[in-house]
Structure 1
Amino acid sequence: MGERKGTNKYYPPDYDPRAGGLNKWQGTHALRERARKIHLGVIIVRFEMPYNIWCEGCKNHIGMGVRYNAEKKKVGMYYTTPVFEFKMKCHLCDNHFVIKTDPANLDYVILSGAQRQESRWDPTKNEQVVPETKETQKRLFDDSMFKLEHGTDDQNIAESSKPRLVSLFNRNESVWNDDYTANSKLRAIFRKSNCEVKMANVKDNTLLKKSSLDIPLLPEREEDRKMASLLSMKLKPTVDIEKNTQLLRKQIVSTSSLPCSSFTPAKEKKALRILNSSTNTKNLVKIKKSIESSVTNNETNNSESDTKKVKLSNSLVGDYGSSNSESD
């Protein structure tokens, strides 16, 4: 391919081979636009995201394997291995994030602009096959006794794991021996769950439409049901509204309008009985007339006493004046 590209290049008539090459003669670089910052030690490369990240500019998720045009430059050395830095722009916003290689840990490090999605775990806890470290490999190569002990430990682990592996194999064979039946059961379970989800969505939409709401509804819980039942019991009236209003009216009528009155419903009934009887009406009229006459007598007596008081005061005043005149 290199030879073909070399032979297919166009050389103008005024080309001078002493210039050192076609690119030097034209004043361009072989990488064209990718080398526009090469005088700063920066070259444009195609960078692939090594793991899942979160962009700090738009807060969106960027998956592993997404490719960008990144500015690559050398920022240091790890022994004889160069350390490179990559700067790229997010394809969803104007944010830039910088990622650096980490040869010591065989990994990449985010310097700015993004945050790594933590999905790492200890492989030894999941009983995965972990590659040996460099120190262990060195001891296995140099120390024969350590190699023998290491091999014995591996054999013991394999023997202890055999019963569990056999049980898992048998379970897999028993479940998936008849793949059609197993698939039918799974499809039935999925169909039932799908119907339940659809019914719940219809119920929620009906409730939202009835209440004129536009909010997402969460699934019901047992605590919510208990709380709703307690609230309904607390707010439930003991009697009907009509009966309650009638009782309130009777209570208002039966109570006295005076603040300190001993009038009771029993006394009210007794007074009504007396008023309704014909024999007692005459007595009531006589009592009324006697009360009126006594009131008029009291008024006349009060007026006479007032006149007497006035005369007495006048006499006292006159006596006081006569004594003064006599003394004069």
Structure 2
Amino acid sequence: MSERKAINKYYPPDFDPSKVKKVKKIKKTGRASWPTVRLMAPFSMKCLQCNEYIAQSRKFNARKEVTEEKYLGSRILRFHIRCPRCNSELIFRTDPKNADYECVSGCKRNYERSTAKPNEGPKAAKNETFDQMLERLEKEDEIEQLNKDGKQKASEETGIEQLEKRLREQEREQQLIDEIDDLQQKNKQAEKRKEEVMKIDLQGET
């Protein structure tokens, strides 16, 4: 066994390395030069050839193609996989603008990811440029700040109004208490007068 694992080779005394023919390496071009990578399906899709459904996160050996297209300096990559049922080619690519993937040919996405606002359609979000997105986000931040400031002012106003209402209620309660005291005193005086009148009447009868 040790002889088979020997690394050293025998070279005869008349060996001339210049006479050995060099084998030229053929550079691979086109599809053959694309590296094979192991990946998972980024979304659930359907093969347009045989209507086979492919679940999200299913593993594939894919060919990675680096395209010349760029978005903000980052290259767009294409991935070529094979349908597990009919062996047809399915192609999808990266979408750095939306931080997602999109189908190119041979397959169809089962569920479209909506990035639009509730009041806008899906086309508005897809046609939105980077500058428009920045403007929209700045406007949203300004609106949020205005809403926060308005809520704070409203809360301050409501606190002052509540204090004023409490003071008014206390004043009314005090006025009512004073009126009740006056009425009680008047009633006592009226009862005393009645008692005096009753005594005078009794004395006159006797």
Higher helix share: 1
Larger relative contact order (CA 8 Å, sep ≥ 6)? 2
TM-score, normalised to structure 2's length? 0.45
- Higher alpha-carbon Rg: 1
Higher strand share: 2
TM-score, normalised to structure 1's length? 0.30
